[in-house]
Every structure is written in structure tokens, then in C-alpha cells.
Structure 1
Amino acid sequence: MGVTMLLRKNVMIVDPSPIFRRSLKAVIETNETLVNVSEAENADQARDILGSQPPDVVFLDMLLPLETGLGLIASVKAVAADIRLVVLTGLDAPQVKAAALEQGADYFLSKEHATGLRLIDVIHETIRR
């Protein structure tokens, strides 16, 4: 008789806006039951979390204080190449999207267009992988 062990996934949200972090955390926790969600408002806090509790999935804004999200993408992928990374940002320029995907992001969503089912689909795809 096989026993399926359900493991909690670690999710990190990196965004300077506490309101956005709380909102995204609520959406994630409403749609996924076995998750631990940590929050970081800047790249330094995110790196501290990466060092102590590596996440399975990272939701990252590109507009961070003192540093862009591009450098943080490299830090995330250096911890573990299989960490799923979703860029969720207010920047919608094609060159920003191309740079993020080239650095290793799995998804790039504009905050303006990341609503409803599209966002939930990405949450399911990244967390349940």
C-alpha cells in the first residue's frame, strides 16, 4: 500500500509594496493549501530568505529599491536552477521581458494584465509542478 506524502511548497514574494505582497499572498493561500509564503520587500531580504529557506517558487517584481530584479533572478537561479520564477511587474516593455526570460524567469506577467484566471493558472502551474 503506497502512501502519498504531501509536501508543503515554499513560496517567496519579492515586491516593495506591502499591499501588493499581502494581496498576492492571499490569492496564493486561497488557491493552494500546502504552501508556506514568505515576503521580502527588497533584494537583500530576498537573499536572506534564499540562504535560510530556499523557495520552490518566487514571485518577483523588477522594480526593487536599490537594485533591479534582474540581478536577483541570477541569485535565485544560483541557489537552485529548478526554482520556478515568475516575474510579476509593472514594467511592460518588451526588452525588460526578454531580459528577464533570458536570465531564467519561467513566466513574465505585467501586473496590469495578471488578474483573474491568468494569474491563478500561473500560480497552479508553478506551485504544483
Structure 2
Amino acid sequence: MKNNMPDPIKVIIADDHVLFRAGVKAFLSLKEDIRVIGEADNGMHLLTLLKAQVPDIILLDIQMPIMSGIDALPEIKKLCPQTKIIMLTMLDENSMISKLMELGANSYLSKSSDSEVIYEAIKTCVSQEYYFNDLTNKAMLTSLKQKNNVVPPHLMVQEAVLNEKETTILRLMCEEKSTKEIADIVELSPRTVESIRDKLKVKTGSKSTAGLIMYAVKHKIIEEI
């Protein structure tokens, strides 16, 4: 009988902390749709691995000896332009996060993130290209404000006409309200709010919640972060 299961997502973990790599690898090995195909303890080692095999995802530590994740990032994009890169760090500086996203990173996670969050980020980056969370949303919003709402070309969203209800829900999303909180405020069911959110993505051409937030900033639907 032919196996119709999709190929597992190929992952390389690049981090100079052996115990961290081992922990992430052990967790991901429990997932049938993930296969860890390599490990590296610095950026130079990682680039050598990439000459022999191309992963779908790289979990990339920012601070490593010999070659840091920051220095390795543009080189990775040259070697493997289709590979999605999830940056891992203990730092949460907005300017750093924004810089890395503009250089081509697809997500930015704290190394203290729950293992399931890392798994979710991997899956989302493969299916939607980017995984955004509170760290990345706030950093990108701050960056857009500081740069007079100039959006990086690869994150650009198209102009759309929104009705009052859609605008209200988008503003609440930018305030990081949950679906239930938004539903209570606008007096709609959570399912209806989710439906409107999906319509907003279609209208604006956004692939993610972060795309909607950037649309709101660019078109001055929100004035403050």
C-alpha cells in the first residue's frame, strides 16, 4: 500500500550549548513529521553542513563562537534561499529582532520558549513562511514606526478597504487582545471574530496576523504601539 504521508520536515539545530541542542533534538524526535538531519555548534560548522544537505528549517542561535548566527544568516540565505530560519536567543531587543527579520529570518524565539512553541514555529514557518509572536510583533511595529511605516518589500501587504467592524477588530488585534476578548468587546461570537479575521487576511493579502498588524501601522489604523 502506498504511503501518502508527506515527507517529514528536515531540521538542523545550530547552537553551541550541547545540552540545549540535545533537549530540542530529543523533543523533536518524538514528532513523526519532523526529522533532525544535523547539528552544528557554530556558524562556520553550519555552513559546511549546508553544502551537503539542505534543511527545511534551521534553528539558529544568535550567539555562537567562530561565526555567530547573525553573521551566518545572510550566508545561509545565499546557500539555501528556500530554507526557513528560526532565530533562538536570550535577547529580546526590538532593534535586533527587527534587523534579523529584515535580513531574512522567518521567526525569532526566546531559548526559554516551551518546546511545543518551537514545534509550532517550525510548522508555521513551513506552511506560512513566517511565525510571529509577541516579541516579533512588538519589534516590527516599533521598527515600522521609527522608519515612518516603511515595510520591508518581502512583508508588504496590499491596500484594502475595511468596514467599521473589521477596522475595530483589527485595532483590537493590534492591542494583543485574544479572540475571546475581542468577541466580548464587539459582542460577537469567537467563531465570527475568527471569520472576520480570515476575511481581513484575504482583503489585505496578508498571510499572518503580523501581516495584518503591519497593514494597520502602514495605513495608520493604529497610531500607537
TM-score (norm 2): 0.51
Shift of residue 71 of structure 1?
1.7
Which residue is 1:105 aligned to? 105
Shift of residue 117 of structure 1?
3.6
Correspondence 1:90 to 2:90:
yes
Q: Which residue identity lines up with residue 94 of structure 1 in the other structure?
A: N
Which residue is 1:123 aligned to? 122
Structure 2: gaps (5+ residues): 129-225
Which residue is 2:197 aligned to? none
CA contact (8 A) 2:88 2:108 kept: yes
Runs of 4+ in 1 over 2 A off after TM superposition: 2-10, 31-34, 116-120, 123-129
Shift of residue 43 of structure 1?
1.0
In the TM superposition, what are the counterparts of 1:39-54 in structure 2 within 5 Å?
39-54=39-54
CA contact (8 A) 2:8 2:32 kept: no
Q: Percent identity?
A: 25
Between 1:46-55 and 1:32-41, the stretch displaced more is 32-41
The whole-number CA distance in structure 2 between the counterparts of 1:5 and 1:54 is 20
Q: Deviations over 1:6-47 (max 9, x none)?
A: 324321100000000001111211124451431000111101
More helix as a share of residues: 2
The whole-number CA distance in structure 2 between the counterparts of 1:10 and 1:70 is 22
Shift of residue 125 of structure 1?
2.2
SS in 2 for 1:52: coil
Which residue is 1:31 aligned to? 31
SS in 2 for 1:108: strand
SS in 2 for 1:60: strand
Specify which structure has the bigger relative contact order, considering alpha-carbon pairs within 8 angstroms and separated by 6 or more residues.
1
In the TM superposition, what are the counterparts of 1:8-87 in structure 2 within 5 Å?
8-87=8-87
CA contact (8 A) 1:28 1:123 kept: no
Distance 1:128 1:36, change over 3 A: farther
The whole-number CA distance in structure 1 between the counterparts of 2:25 and 2:126 is 13
Shift of residue 98 of structure 1?
1.1
Distance 1:5 1:111, change over 3 A: closer
More strand as a share of residues: 1
SS in 1 for 2:13: strand
CA contact (8 A) 2:11 2:57 kept: yes
Which residue is 2:141 aligned to? none
The whole-number CA distance in structure 1 between the counterparts of 2:60 and 2:118 is 14
Shift of residue 103 of structure 1?
0.8
Distance 1:94 1:7, change over 3 A: same
TM-score (norm 1): 0.85
Q: Which residue identity lines up with residue 60 of structure 1 in the other structure?
A: L
The whole-number CA distance in structure 2 between the counterparts of 1:97 and 1:27 is 26
Structure 1: gaps (5+ residues): none
Q: Which residue identity lines up with residue 98 of structure 2 in the other structure?
A: A
